[in-house]
Amino acid sequence: MEQHSHGYAEDKQAILRRLKRAEGQVRGIARMVEEDTYCIDILTQVSAATKALETVALQLLDDHLAHCVAEAARSGGTVADEKIREASEAIGRLVRS
Amino acid sequence: MEQHSHGYAEDKQAILRRLKRAEGQVRGIARMVEEDTYCIDILTQVSAATKALETVALQLLDDHLAHCVAEAARSGGTVADEKIREASEAIGRLVRS
Amino acid sequence: MEQHSHGYAEDKQAILRRLKRAEGQVRGIARMVEEDTYCIDILTQVSAATKALETVALQLLDDHLAHCVAEAARSGGTVADEKIREASEAIGRLVRS
Amino acid sequence: MEQHSHGYAEDKQAILRRLKRAEGQVRGIARMVEEDTYCIDILTQVSAATKALETVALQLLDDHLAHCVAEAARSGGTVADEKIREASEAIGRLVRS
């Protein structure tokens, strides 16, 4: 796995902010459980945290297609095929999760 | 929208077979409802039909990335950007549906 | 599996209409594939059909909770526990599909 | 919103452990982004964290049906109807998220 610049380099700060917020949401849910909050109100927060993570995933994927996959496609050959197969599998995991 | 050969050209027959089967599943669900089948058994079939449609979507998307998007990336420019933005939006709709 | 009146008895016609429409949507998707429609346009229709099936599932589940599960809860005992376990499993399948 | 014992009272410690783990997963994802980890590897972790939150949601919902909803059903009347409508809406949010 390469360690240099990635597809999400430009959006890195925005993604980190979103993840910080999602982490806070999950911690907030734990606090609600600690404090015996009503189940339905907790579920609303769980749905919100799940959606926040999905938004991060879609942004990472978008950047990945726009940079890594597009670059591999320009190089062509088996690397391109491999990158596309890999992206398709990641999309499959997201759709099914 | 172009009318010529598409990303899914090679998989066309396989996709049509899957869709034919999904259509049969939906018709089967309607028959279960007509015959007052137990709700939980119907729900199991609805989950199966939903999964079948997801599989079709993932196959179409895979072919689309491997052909249309890869080709656009090789051409470069705004067409490439547009194709990737369009694919990302379609992925977003799938993940959220 | 009982064959008498079910949770969805009152909504039966509405559910059948929705399923008829979903079946038409799936047939429409097959026609789009036959006619080599652009992949992204097909994906939009697949997302719509998936959402339509989800709506049917949620209506069936709602009716099931309001009738079968509520009735079992009133009777109490192991039947109630069994109905709730069964409903939870069906919800799990829907959430994960 | 009542503040007394809830549906998830018995599973409280298990749910808190799961949430603690999910919080750690989200923090781990942020660290991966900081360290410029390859996008696809990050996406795998995002799918895992999303699934962990879904599992928490399904457990909360299961407990809610088995306790709050079942109890309301036994009391009957508009409270029962209201609890079931509320549970159905929460299920809808989960299925669509």
Task: Say which of B44, B56, B57 has its CB closest to residue C93.
Answer: B44
Asked if C70 and D88 come within 8 Å (Cβ–Cβ), the reply is: no
The crossing angle, in degrees rounded to 10, of helices C39-64 and D77-96 is: 160
- How many beta carbons lie within 10 A of that of residue B95, not counting itself? 20
Measured between CA atoms, how close is A95 to chain C, in angstroms?
8
DSSP A4: S
Residues B29-41 have a mean pLDDT of 96
Contacts of C96 in chain A (CB under 8 A): 96-97
Q: What is the mean pLDDT of chain B?
A: 92
The DSSP result for C19-82, as a single string, is HHHHHHHHHHHHHHHHTT--HHHHHHHHHHHHHHHHHHHHHHHHHHIIIIIHHHHHH-HHHHHH
Q: What is the pLDDT of residue D3?
A: 45
Contacts of C42 in chain B (CB under 8 A): 60
pLDDT in tens, B53-69: 999 999 999 999 999 99
Asked if D7 and A39 come within 8 Å (Cβ–Cβ), the reply is: yes
Domain residue ranges of chain A, discontinuous segments joined by +: 11-96
* ipTM of predicted complex: 0.90
Residues B30-58 have a mean pLDDT of 96
Measured between CA atoms, how close is D41 to chain A, in angstroms?
9
How far apart are the C-alpha atoms of B66 and C4, rounded to whole Å? 51
Q: Which residues 77-96 of chain D have a CB within 8 Å of chain B?
A: 96
Nearest CA among A27, A12, A23, A29 for reference residue A63: A12
Q: What is the pLDDT of residue B2?
A: 45
Q: Chunked in runs of 10, what are the mean pLDDT values of chain C (97 residues)?
A: 68 96 98 96 96 96 93 90 94 91
Asked if D74 and C73 come within 8 Å (Cβ–Cβ), the reply is: yes
Residues B8-30 have a mean pLDDT of 96
Nearest CA among A62, A57, A45 for reference residue A97: A57
Cα four-point dihedral sign D33, D38, D43, D44: negative
Q: What is the pLDDT of residue C2?
A: 45
Question: Could you tell me which residues come within 8 angstroms of residue A69 by beta carbon, excluding any fewer than 6 positions away?
Answer: A83, A84, A87, B65, B69, B70, B73
pLDDT of A11 strictly over 50: yes
Nearest CA among D19, C19, D63, B33 for reference residue A38: D63
Q: What is the mean pLDDT of chain D?
A: 92
Residues B80-96 have a mean pLDDT of 93
* pLDDT level of residue A87 (50, 70, 90 thresholds): very high
Q: What is the pLDDT of residue C3?
A: 45
Measured between CA atoms, how close is A93 to chain B, in angstroms?
10
* pLDDT level of residue D20 (50, 70, 90 thresholds): very high
Task: Say which of D69, D80, D95 has its CB closest to residue C95.
Answer: D95
Q: Are the beta carbons of A8 and A64 closer than 8 angstroms?
A: yes
Task: Say which of B65, B80, B91 has its CB closest to residue A84.
Answer: B65
Q: What is the pTM of this model?
A: 0.90
Task: Say which of B57, B71, B88 has its CB closest to residue A61.
Answer: B88
DSSP C17: H
* Residue C46 token pair: 């697949």
How far apart are the C-alpha atoms of C90 and B47, rounded to whole Å? 9
Which residue on chain C is closest to B84 by alpha carbon? C40
* pLDDT level of residue B37 (50, 70, 90 thresholds): very high
Amino acid (one-letter) located at D22: A
Residues B82-86 have a mean pLDDT of 93
Q: Which CATH number applies to C11-96: 3.30.930.10, 1.20.58.1000, 1.10.645.10, 3.65.10.10?
A: 1.20.58.1000
pLDDT in tens, A41-66: 999 999 999 999 999 999 999 999 99
Q: Which chains touch D (3 or more CB pairs under 8 A)?
A: A, B, C
Q: What is the pLDDT of residue A1?
A: 44
Measured between CA atoms, how close is A52 to chain B, in angstroms?
12
Q: What is the pLDDT of residue A30?
A: 98
* Residue B51 token pair: 């999964």
- Of B3-17, D45-59, D79-93, which range is least confident? B3-17
Contacts of C57 in chain D (CB under 8 A): 95
Q: What is the pLDDT of residue D77?
A: 87
The crossing angle, in degrees rounded to 10, of helices C12-34 and B12-34 is: 170
Asked if C46 and B53 come within 8 Å (Cβ–Cβ), the reply is: yes
Task: Say which of C54, C70, C76 has its CB closest to residue D95.
Answer: C54
Q: What is the pLDDT of residue A3?
A: 45
Q: Which residues 4-63 of chain B have a CB within 8 Å of chain A?
A: 54, 57-58, 61-62
How far apart are the C-alpha atoms of D60 and C80, rounded to whole Å? 18
How far apart are the C-alpha atoms of D97 and D88, rounded to whole Å? 14
